Amino acid sequence: MDNFFLVAEISSVYNKDGFVSAKVFSDFPERFFNLKNVFVDLFGGLRKLFIEEIEMSGNEILMKFKNFDSQKDVEPLVGNKVYIKSEQSVKLEKDIFFIHDLIGCEILFKNEFFGTLIDVMQFPANDVYVIIDSGGNEVLIPAVKDYIEKIDIVKRRIILIKNLEYFEDDEN
């Protein structure tokens, strides 16, 4: 499943006509309006389902799949995850990255290995990188230009600003 990305989870049957409601995990919910198909994790494998109709309802998406025409038809879909292929993903602007591309990147500080990015916490002001340093400690770094010099997704490397005082030992 390396070239598939999780974008939603089917949360409930929406109506008797075969619509389902899905919780969206994407920052780009409008992407669903351009999709012709998705892949649903069903019966132990990904099954390609063709989208017949899409509607938005608050922060959930309502989907109708081809040949799923009743409540009974869509009941087995509830609780299953919805994926897209990597080539269906949204094209991002320069210096904007998918979280799944950042996870696992090595972090360099003063040209030395500092740690590995394991998670990204999203907050209204800015994201925060969760890093496990070389000593096994969890370190939080704001994902802002004051801390990040460069992100190289191809090399899977994030370089922190060299003159950063964040890591200086202030306990004496």
Rounded distance, CA 117 to CA 141, Å? Answer: 10
- Of residues 161 and 63, more confidence is placed in 63
Domains of the chain plus CATH, in order, are 4-88 (2.40.30.60), 99-160 (2.30.30.240)
Does 102 have pLDDT greater than 90? Answer: no
pTM over cut 0.75:
no
What is the arithmetic mean of pLDDT over 3-32? 87
Does 71 have pLDDT greater than 80? Answer: yes
**Residues 113-151 as b or e (16 or more Cβ within 10 Å = b):** ebbbbeebeeeeeebbbbbbeeeeeeeebebeeeebeeb
What is the arithmetic mean of pLDDT over 109-134? 91
**Kind of pairing, strands 138-142 and 127-133?**
antiparallel
% of the chain exceeding 90 in pLDDT: 46
Rounded distance, CA 148 to CA 129, Å? Answer: 10
Give the DSSP letter of residue 155.
T
- What pLDDT, on a 0 to 100 scale, did the predictor assign at position 129? 93
What is the arithmetic mean of pLDDT over 154-162? 88
Rounded distance, CA 68 to CA 38, Å? Answer: 14
Extract the tokens encoding 36.
Answer: 């012709």
- Of residues 46 and 166, more confidence is placed in 46
